[in-house]
Amino acid sequence: MLSTITEKALAYRSFAQHNFRQIPQISQLSEEQINDIDIVSHVLPFKSNNYVVDELINWDNVPDDPIFTLTFPRKEMLIPEHYERMKAIMESGASKDEIKKVAHSIRLELNPHPAGQLEHNVPMIEGHKLTGMQHKYKQTVLFFPSQGQTCHAYCSFCFRWPQFVGMDEWKFAMKETELLIKYLKEHTEVTDLLFTGGDPMIMKNKIFATYIDALLEADIPNLQTIRIGTKALGYWPYKFITDDDADDTLRTFEKIVNSGKNLAIMAHFNHPVELSTDAVAEAIRRVRATGAQIRTQSPIMRNINAEPGIWADMWRKQVNMNCIPYYMFVARDTGAQHYFKVPLVEAWEIFQNAYQQVSGVCRTVRGPSMSATPGKVQVMGVSEVGGKKIMTLRFLQGRNPDWVGKPFFAEYDEKAIWLDDLKPAFGEKKFFFEDELKQIFESEISNSEVGNFE
């Protein structure tokens, strides 16, 4: 298969607001649809590429095609008031700066940093905030290498969208491995380091290997797993096949595995189409051959994948390709959430229906899960107690590890889309974790140290 793919090897070409009109297939859209892409992409980030455009999108099915929806903005992704505000300023002959100002003001209304990630998760060392890291859960540190803060294409639902639109004051990024290593050595409870972004697999191997070499040389015994959160397999599989540093990247993966650490590629796939090309099959085969595991995850989103058959198909394909289904997430309360949102009850119904369709080897997947302020909360289901419907939830991760695994209950609410929308069941005033969460935040503020909750 490799020779066919090598013959077809693509040179990466990205499309964004300034050049998307050059995509030949765009001429199939109406002038209005094209203008809408232009208007919305002034607010929300937009980037696609030639692989997504030529091999994943079915242009006969546009604008409903799921991968088109995944990477191209459209009118409905802004609420009408924001859309009209943006359209009006663009049609008024205003200067670029004025247009930018309006776009920025709209972005500020889109909850750019949900789940308290800006205020509450940034660790400290020797009195310095480590702004390129997050430490929310005891065992896992997230690391945002500064050269990995973009992606091969952007997802229209992405909760990290502020990083891509120049809201720089909120950009997480970090260059220094020294401080990271120091932090990991001091925090012996940390077993997992997650490289994230953007997409760390946008980094050239020359840079990626510098981080990895430093980490391996530091020989940190508590560090057992290196995870890499990436959508490169979905958006640019050539990263692992024919890019000029593809083989070197795989050698770096092997180095991690040979050092005795677990390497987990946390691969982001939103739709089975992304698993359908020869290129992705070959990329997965090559990555797996290094000894790395591939775990898969995706949010559930209206207009892209909110159907049980899509999930069942996706999990089956992933297992057949030697990947491990890992998470179904709920779309975060940010950006274009109004367009993608799936209420919690419906998300659970879709999950349950899909789960029932697949064999035990696919049932490694967990969900639907919200990455909310107190932790990762899974909707376990709807039950009836004393003739009343309730929702059962549990923490898969918690700011306090003691919360993990304990079921708790909320009143049945089929409109709720996020943890904040739910009320405790059985007449309780608060959920069991609320007082403690408040205390955690208060102590963080009084200590001016945000990593202290572990």
**Residue placing its CB nearer to ligand SF4 in the complex, 49 or 400:** 49
Q: Does 332 bind ligand SF4 (CB under 6 A)?
A: no
**Residue 231 engages ligand SF4 in binding (rule: CB under 6 A):** yes
Contact 157, 335 (CB under 8 A): yes
Q: Which residues contact 342 (CB under 8 A, 6 or more apart)?
A: 300, 301, 302, 306, 330, 331, 350, 417
116 φ, ψ to 5°?
60, 25
Quick note: the x/- pattern for ligand SF4 over 166-195, rule CB under 6 A, is ------------------------------
User: What is the C-alpha separation between 249 and 246, in angstroms, rounded?
Assistant: 5
Give CA 405 to chain center in angstroms: 23
Q: Which stretch in 31-39, 169-177, 197-205, 385-393 sits in contact with ligand SF4 by CB under 6 A?
A: 197-205
Least distance to ligand SF4, CB of residue 128, Å? 26
What is the rounded distance in angstroms from the CA atom of residue 392 to the CA atom of residue 331?
19
How many residues bind ligand SF4 (CB under 6 A)? The answer is 10
C-alpha to C-alpha distance for 298 and 329, rounded to whole angstroms: 6
Which is closer to ligand SF4, CB of 45 or CB of 325?
45
Nearest approach, Cβ of residue 296 and ligand SF4 (Å): 13
CB of 380 to ligand SF4, least distance (A): 25
Out of 66, 148, 162, 198, name the contact with ligand SF4 by CB under 6 A: 198
Q: Is the peptide bond before 63 cis (omega within 30 degrees of 0)?
A: yes
Which is closer to ligand SF4, CB of 266 or CB of 410?
Answer: 266
Say if CB 116 and CB 108 are below 8 A apart. Answer: no
Least separation, in Å, of the C-beta of 311 and ligand SF4? 18
Longest dimension (CA), the chain: 65
Supply the minimum distance, in Å, between the C-beta of residue 268 and ligand SF4.
Answer: 6
Tell me which residues in 121-160 interact with ligand SF4 (CB under 6 A): 151, 154-155, 158, 160
Phi and psi dihedrals of 30, rounded to 5? Answer: -75, 160
The terminus-to-terminus CA distance of the chain in angstroms comes to 48
Told to check if 377 binds ligand SF4 by CB under 6 A, we report no
Nearer to ligand SF4 among residue 154 and residue 409 (C-beta)? 154
Give yes or no for a contact between 368 and 330, defined as CB atoms under 8 angstroms apart.
yes
User: Where in 254-283 is the site for ligand SF4 (CB under 6 A)?
Assistant: 268
Q: Which residues bind ligand SF4 (CB under 6 A)?
A: 151, 154-155, 158, 160, 197-199, 231, 268
